[in-house]
Structure 1
């Protein structure tokens, strides 16, 4: 019975995803409990879907291979890893090492949850990690010199990453998206993602109260000067949008974005004059959910459709990569970029330090030219 990921509406009014049987639409019981656990941990709907697709693929592979997923061994997982690395995608390409790593991480998390919930034997996920002795100095004085070793567990199915710069939009592609945005709402969304570097979940979760687009926001109870917005994590968003970071952060915006915001508010008031008000910033203009908050799928379809009209491919997260790369190449300090992006760890921001091939060539030509 092949498994696949399908959208589902839950009793609390939220929408999400489940792993279901392709013929009977019967949910996979263990995967359904895994979904409930992720939502209980405030994982976003987008994150849940990202985890479920590898889980469904793993379950299908096990059935084709005659492997009981509840008793999977390290040898089985090594075979599955090899399968992921050598199976071409729909575009006729083998997946990148990072993609394989994400798949394995999702499957291991699923197995670990099942073991913790006593759904499978606890030894199953324990095979997927190995012990490693690592020296670590602690304390001061003599202890710092002698140090000690500690036992940690690392993945037994490591994938060697390939260092590459994040995929971004060229200047021509950015301008094409801006010029062809059909509505003021779409233009504001495109520019917001490009200028502020927000994650799509952060943008879709914005409320009116988060938009402090005034020179002085003291009347709103905010002491920050200049136009800015606040990224706030809310686990109760009806569209499932969820800011990744637990910590709220302010993000400054340019005056040109404030003007686009005003245009959008005017357009929205006209188009939705007879619709009940909604405090989400981004809402649907058409369809059965007119006037309600835009979902992840709405945003993805919009970006893909707009890029397709201009002859290239794009996804919402590419806007964030483009913004961060642009800041770094403009000489913005890495700690400022880290704060703008809301990264908890500096290592997450360092991926944007990869220079482009054009900048590398410019550097070589500049030095050679002086000789």
Structure 2
């Protein structure tokens, strides 16, 4: 079993699962098409889930099990995921860990979704659900996930999940940001790094920007926009480069003069390239084929990895670390959590809290304020 990209006549792509005979696994394909077109998931999501389903089906084939009945042996599948690297193998070294807890949990989530969908569409028996979930109540959920009314509710809780250590996501420091800027080889690359660090865009939002989304005029009313000052519109739409805005709702992100200046320098550079001049995408290939084609999300990672190497940053800075740095800088400068939520495009404020990385000086100032407030002289 392996994953395979499918391009629809409309140009929209999703990933499916095919066997060694090159035939599509119909039940998996139905689920993945539902994700892409029924639930409006990103192409990258279908790729991840297709990979998870392919691993599950490969394990079923290697162990001689029907994929429906194998749902009752999930602990064995978890052990296989941890120690077996090749889809066709049934055993690996007990001392070698091939996949970590986070990767295994991601695979399990995809498999649960696939099997649940199969049950819902009568492709698998109802008994499968009992192997995947147990009844639990909402009391073990975080407070923000229980609902505002506080009513006790039953819910389905996944039976199989590998414990993982929750580490705070990386935050790119201001020094990292400056080092990356110095290591950039073009005006385009500088604008890309600046927008990640000074606007907090996701990589899919970044390379999905169109020229019509850039409102850098002092007065944008001529464009039918009343938002004051220079800003970007982040819009969810289908893109030929696989870029995808995660939020279903469009948002406006204000930008500062550094972004505007970097944008002008980039478009001066871009105007020298005839193949790139006509593209509606903001970020296009200038230095490798196909010239003028929109950059892909994967190209953003490659660019940052190369710049990090030139800047001698170890580990390399990834796009989301710059987004984390942006959110933390907004708070360090006195911004509020609801402002961060709006700027990052989060539907829930609890999602924004994951991005908070108070600077050491801000933590020091907080302690100093408490100490000053509690001393007798301050009363």
TMscore range, shorter length:
0.7 to 0.9
The Cα offsets for residues 207-248 of structure 1, whole Å up to 9 and x where unpaired, read as 1111111221111111111100111111x2222222111111
Which residue number corresponds to residue 116 of structure 2? 112
**Mapping of residues 14-163 of structure 1, within 5 Å:** 14-21=12-19, 25-40=22-37, 41-74=39-72, 76-84=73-81, 97-133=101-137, 150-160=153-163, 162-163=165-166
Alpha-carbon contact 1:14-1:239 (below 8 Å) kept: no
CA distance in 2, matches of 1:310, 1:7: 35
Q: Deviations over 1:169-218 (max 9, x none)?
A: 23333222211111111111111011111111111221111111122111
Is 1:281 the counterpart of 2:278 in the alignment?
no
Correspondences of 1:311-322 after superposition (within 5 Å) = 311=312, 312=314, 313-322=316-325
For the Cα contact (< 8 Å) 2:332–2:362, is it kept in 1?
Answer: no
Deviations 1:36-60 (A, max 9, x none): 2222132111222222222223233
Structure 2 residue runs without a partner (length 5+):
86-95, 140-148
- Contact 2:16–2:24 (Cα < 8 Å) also in 1: yes
Cα deviations by residue, 1:66-93 (Å, 9 ceiling, x for unpaired) = 433222234x2123334546779xxx87
Q: Does 1:11 align with 2:9?
A: yes
Number of residue pairs aligned between Structure 1 and Structure 2: 352
8 Å CA contact retained: 1:7, 1:17: yes
Work out which of the residue numbers 240, 243, 261 in structure 1 matches 2:242: 240
Residue 221 of structure 2 corresponds to residue 218 of structure 1: yes
How high is the TM-score relative to the length of structure 1? 0.82
Q: Which residue of 2 aligns with 1:291?
A: 292
Q: TM-score, normalised by structure 2?
A: 0.80
Residues 171, 325 of structure 2: 8 Å contact kept: yes
Q: CA deviation at 1:362?
A: 8.4
Report what 1:141 is aligned to: none
The Cα of 1:350 is off from its aligned counterpart by: 1.3
**Equivalents in 2 of 1:276, 1:327: separation in Å?**
35
Q: Tell me the residue number matched to 1:300.
A: 301
What is the CA–CA distance in structure 2 between the aligned matches of 1:57 and 1:325, rounded to whole Å? Answer: 38
Q: 1:47–1:68: structure 2 CA closer, same or farther, 3 Å change rule?
A: same
Alignment partner of 1:254 out of 250, 253, 256: 256
Note closer, same or farther for the CA distance 1:299–1:31 as it changes in structure 2 (3 Å cut).
farther
- Cα distance in 1 for partners of 2:5, 2:137 equals 44
Q: Which of 176, 188, 200 is matched with 2:179 structurally?
A: 176
Over the aligned positions, Cα root-mean-square deviation in angstroms equals 3.3
For the residue of structure 2 that corresponds to 1:244, the secondary structure is: coil
CA deviation vs aligned residue, 1:342-367 (integer Å, no higher than 9, x gap): 11111111113355778768877999
The whole-number CA distance in structure 1 between the counterparts of 2:294 and 2:268 is 18
CA distance in 1, matches of 2:138, 2:200: 37
Give the 3 Å change call, closer, same or farther, for CA 122–266 of structure 1 in structure 2.
Answer: farther
Secondary structure of 1:18 counterpart? strand
1:343 is matched with which residue: 346, 354, 362? 346
Which range moves more in the overlay, 107-116 or 261-270? 107-116
- CA, structure 1 residues 4+366, in 2 after alignment: closer, same or farther (shift >3 Å)? farther
Report the Cα distance in structure 2 between the residues aligned to 1:93 and 1:175, rounded to whole angstroms. 37
Mapped to 1, the partners of 2:329 and 2:103 lie a distance apart of: 25
Query: In the TM superposition, what is the alpha-carbon distance from 1:330 to its structure 2 partner?
Result: 3.5
Structure 2 distance, partners of 1:181, 1:24, is 46
